[in-house]
Structure 1
């Protein structure tokens, strides 16, 4: 196989321009919002704190993930083609998994940051010093790299004999596994299950952290103080819930409920929308 065919919008030729303009609008919103956050955090010395350092990293990951898949999809729609080279597909698999896996780890780190800030404020400077923040961010990026390298190498090493058509608008592991003719793909399925459980474990850790945060916030005597604490935490919890759960569902949904339209909607929810809405969610309650 020298190339793959992306069939997500194959039956909607009359909506090609709508698909292009919709993705272009989402992409421009993501570029504008995330670049504003990155520029503001870098230029304003008042924002050189752990929370904004992690937010800057989140914006970098969002820019990377959406830039990996959306421009190619827009180009295919505009030029009425659905082909992607084997090398391009491999690059998409690796880079998208890299950015998404790193983002999942970083969201967990951000929950820990909020937990320490609210539940152990006197130890905040010690537990989240500049060196510790750099190490945690580097661990998140490194985890994403290792996870992506493992899954990409394992997936692309499988023999493919079911054609070269992927029912998606980008190269995705579940769609690639459908082309495999070897029982060896069960090994990759096992890796996906393990990764999903790790992601779910991160989600559980985040939820438990916020349980402790909410308990601490409810003990704050001032209503203004409670409101301020909640405003910095609720957006993060909302982002985590949508991002992690839709991602897990996309990779572990049973075949009995799988359909091209459902696969497309779920993929858009966890791959395209988060990079665009994250800057809005994290900034709406922040001067």
Structure 2
């Protein structure tokens, strides 16, 4: 019978691990983690289920798996970080060997014990004062506002995102901030010849701000606000808050509002139930 890989590129990746002189138990550990990851994606991730192409995976897809490890399996901090390390090395190998074009674990970091707790939703109710806070960077405030409208970092850092953003959906406080942001960003847009919203300050061949570049604005503002500004956690807490506050809506209404497929919505509903408990 022909050999079937337990996960994409298993043979070439494990050959690479052997070349790195890793011990057999360590390679077996990689195999176990990656097999588990792709079984999860095959069962619970609609995007991966569509064509089973590893090249289409983004940070949100891996984050969904990592969140499951914490909220359903309740893995320890050490186990979580070790599994993330294995997954990161796998995707780094695929990326550096031109097997994928996106590096989905680039923005994912190992978390402390406190960060493994359910995300806080309190910041959503502080948004009016946050948007008015001139001490916070414009990019920080825009990240928070877009997260509160259920956009992921992968979405709002993608070139052309501004074309799908409808300011008619903003409330009065958001409109006021949006006007201020336009005054801030327009000179940069002119200088960089781009209409996108997250742009580098200095001229560059690619003017778009990266996730790492955005982090440089978010990190200092964490101290001012007193909570983590990791975009993936902001997005997750916004979705959870909506589900907790709108249990009377139909599945279709919630899916349209959050722009979630049924499998992702089921996952967040389960997470919301755990958070409520």
- Normalised to the residue count of structure 2, the TM-score between the two structures is 0.27
- Normalised to the residue count of structure 1, the TM-score between the two structures is 0.26
> Comparing both structures, which one devotes a greater share of its residues to helix?
1
